[in-house]
Amino acid sequence: MNIIARTVRHLFCLLFVSIAVSCQQQTPPALPAEAVVQPDAYELFVRAHPRYPRTMEIYRNKELMAKATPYSPIYICLSQQRGRLYVDDKVAADWPVSTGTNNHATPTGRFRVQEKKKTYNSRTWGRIYDADGKCINKDADTRKDRVPEGGKFVGASMPNWHRLTGSGIGMHTGKVRAGRTLSHGCIRTPSLMASQLFEITATGKTRITITKEVEKCYPTFVGTIHNTADRVPAEQQMATPPSTDKPQPIAEPTTPKAPTQEATVAEQNQPTPEEQAPPAA
């Protein structure tokens, strides 16, 4: 019986050792060498426009726009001539703007909305008419141009007015050309986007930051880049508008567009109040 018992114990030991060795030899499944992060709707929008930021397209994320509050920050990037609204640290909207020319530069810094008016006319910039009603100055400046006897001054129309400074710099609906500076210092915004922003912002609460370079909170696109060593910060990717040379096409991702993306074309051919009224500030 002792011999049988020893034999059984020996067999059990061999079986246990065999199972242990077998488990040690099994290797875990290999992980993919490169993890692919799916691009979000905003990245798809930017990559779908090779000439970005020089495009009249407007990006709006419906879900994020619905969550926007008067405290949602707005950034105006002068080098790109784009405006962006952020919600939950993500781009909720991206639109073209036209800011001040070299002779009337738009100031940089952090500003708070001081005043809001749905309809507004400039007290500085506009047109001067003579006594017969004929326009004699289409780009009048009340600080230096005089109105003739019997004539009148008509201030430039600036719907959806947001005053940012005491000197009259603000954001409003106006004529916009992608990548071009046109104003006397104000931030001209397409009518569609200006109207939506007017419903979100609030006097004394909304902050608008104007910066020469791309804002630091701008997302770094990594969705279609596999090697982390090849990732380029957003500030270097699109810090300045493209040159006049033919732009290099950007490969579009193969994934379908996210359902939350809504892109519309700003009214390029439709006359704005400023095209019929004096040039906006």
Set out the domains of the chain in order of their start, with CATH numbers: 56-115+175-281 (2.40.440.10)
Are 183 and 174 in contact, with CB atoms under 8 Å apart?
Answer: yes
Are 280 and 157 in contact, with CB atoms under 8 Å apart?
Answer: yes
> CA–CA distance from 21 to each of 12, 14, 18, 125 (Å)?
14, 11, 5, 87
The span from the CA of 112 to the CA of 209, in Å, is 9
In percent, how much of the chain has pLDDT > 90?
Answer: 54
3-state secondary structure of 93: strand
The span from the CA of 94 to the CA of 91, in Å, is 7
Q: Which two tokens stand for residue 173?
A: 């609906």
**Eight-class DSSP state of 99:** -
pLDDT band at 238 (very low <50, low <70, confident <90, very high): very low
pLDDT band at 5 (very low <50, low <70, confident <90, very high): low
Q: Which two tokens stand for residue 152?
A: 């009148």
* pLDDT tens profile 249-268: 444 444 444 444 555 544 44
239 backbone φψ class: left, alpha, beta (φ>0; ψ -120 to 50): alpha
Q: Look at residue 88 and tell me whether its pLDDT is greater than 50.
A: yes
Secondary structure, 3-state, 210-242: EECCCCCCCCCCCCCCCCHHHCCCHHHHCCCCC
φ/ψ (deg, to 5) at 65: -60, -35
The span from the CA of 181 to the CA of 188, in Å, is 9
Q: Which two tokens stand for residue 201?
A: 């912002």
Q: Who contacts 214 (Cβ-Cβ below 8 Å, separation ≥6)?
A: 77, 79, 80, 234, 235, 238, 239
* pLDDT tens profile 118-133: 999 988 888 999 888 9
